[in-house]
Amino acid sequence: MPRRRYRDVNLQFMRTACLTKVLVLSIALAGLVSTAVYADTSREYRLKAAYLLNFARFVYWPTESFLSETDTFKICVYGESRFGENLNHLLSKKVQGRSIRIIYKDDLRNISECHILFVSESDKASYYKVASEVPRNVLTVSDVEGFSSEGGMIEFIRVDNKIKFEINVTQSIKSGIKFRSQLLEVAEKLR
């Protein structure tokens, strides 16, 4: 359904001259931005870091996901991190009133403590393993291509030089993750 609406929206965009101009401008701007993004992976990962926070905010976290009322919200990064310092910006933010903690993981042990598990692109070999081994109530996100189709939940993709994401709703439901509808509306693709 979101796909069809997306197409309708596109059609309407095409119809209106004004918005066409905007689109042209946007494309031009996007071109400039994407050039910069590609030029600077740091920027890309800053955006992805912000997205991670937003994902956290658009998921209904059950109380059993936390050990206590004061338990932190844990974002884990598995594999080689390309976020650099960008994730540290999240430390000042809060999810459901809880402070955020960034945990870097080299293996998949103790990953059940994570709320979001980001699987880095560098460790392409292990994402299948992740997909099969990740316990319930852990949201898995990756920018590895084909992640969502292979058992991952959210996969960053690039559309028109913009960072978008796909969501594997079936997998998410299986893992006990419930997204807010708004998130599904802005997702590029739903599986």
Partner 1 sequence: MPLIQKSSIKNKLLIVYMSITAIVLASAFIISVSFEVSSSKKNIISGLNIVGEIVADRGAASLAFSDIESANINLRTLRSHDSIVYACIRSAENEAFAEYNADEDKTYQCDEYNDKNRTSISEKYVDIYKPVLLEGQSIGMVQIKSSLEGLNGQIIESIKLSLVIFMGLMIVASFVSGRVVNRIIEPITKLKEIAQKVTDGNNYSFRMEKTSSDEVGVLVESFNKMLDQILERDRALSEEKDKAELSAMSAKKYAEETESINIDLENEIRERTKVEEELQELNETLEDKVQERTIELKELNEKIGGIARSAGMAEVASGVLHNVGNVLNSVNVSVSVIREQIRKTKSTNLSRLVDMLNSNKDNIAIFIEKDEKGKQIPKFLSLLSEQLEDEKINLFCELDQLSKNVDHIKNVISMQQSYAGSYGVREKVKISDLVEDALKINLQGIAQHGIEIVREYENVPMLYIDKHKALQVVINLISNAKYALIDSGKERKKIIVLIKMTNSNISVEIKDTGIGIAPEDIPHLFEYGFKKRKGGHGYGLHHSALVANELGGRLSVRSEGLSEGASFIMVVPIDKQEDE
Residues numbered 7-26 forming contacts with partner 1, rule: CB under 8 A: 9-10, 12-13, 16, 18-19, 26
Site for partner 1, residues 114 to 143, rule: CB under 8 A: none
State yes or no: residue 6 binds partner 1 (CB under 8 A). yes
Residue 94 in the binding site for partner 1 (CB under 8 A) = yes
- Among the candidate windows 101-109, 118-126, 149-157, 178-186, which touches partner 1 by CB under 8 A? 178-186
Contact criterion met (CB below 8 Å) for 59 and 176: no
3-state secondary structure the chain: CHHHHHHHHHHHHHHCHHHHHHHHHHHHHHHHHHHHHHHCHHHHHHHHHHHHHHHHHCEECCHHHCCCCCCCEEEEEECCCCCCCHHHHHHHCEECCEEEEEEEECCCCCHHHCCEEEECHHHHHHHHHHHHHCCCCCEEEECCCCCCCCCCCEEEEEECCEEEEEECHHHHHHHCCEECHHHHHHCCEEC
**In this structure, what token pair is assigned to residue 3?**
């796909």
**Residue 95 or residue 153: which is nearer to partner 1 going by CB?**
95
Judged by CB under 8 A, which stretch of 80-88, 119-127, 144-152, 183-191 contacts partner 1? 183-191
Does position 104 bind partner 1 by CB under 8 A?
Answer: no
Q: How far is the CB of 7 from partner 1 (least distance, A)?
A: 11
Residues 41-80 contacting partner 1, CB under 8 A: 51, 54, 57-58
Binding-site member from 103, 108, 169, 183 for partner 1 (CB under 8 A): 183
CB of 86 to partner 1, least distance (A): 16
* CB contact set of 110 (below 8 Å; sequence gap of 6+): none
Contact residues for partner 1 (CB under 8 A)? 5-6, 9-10, 12-13, 16, 18-19, 26, 51, 54, 57-58, 94-96, 165, 180, 182-183, 185-186
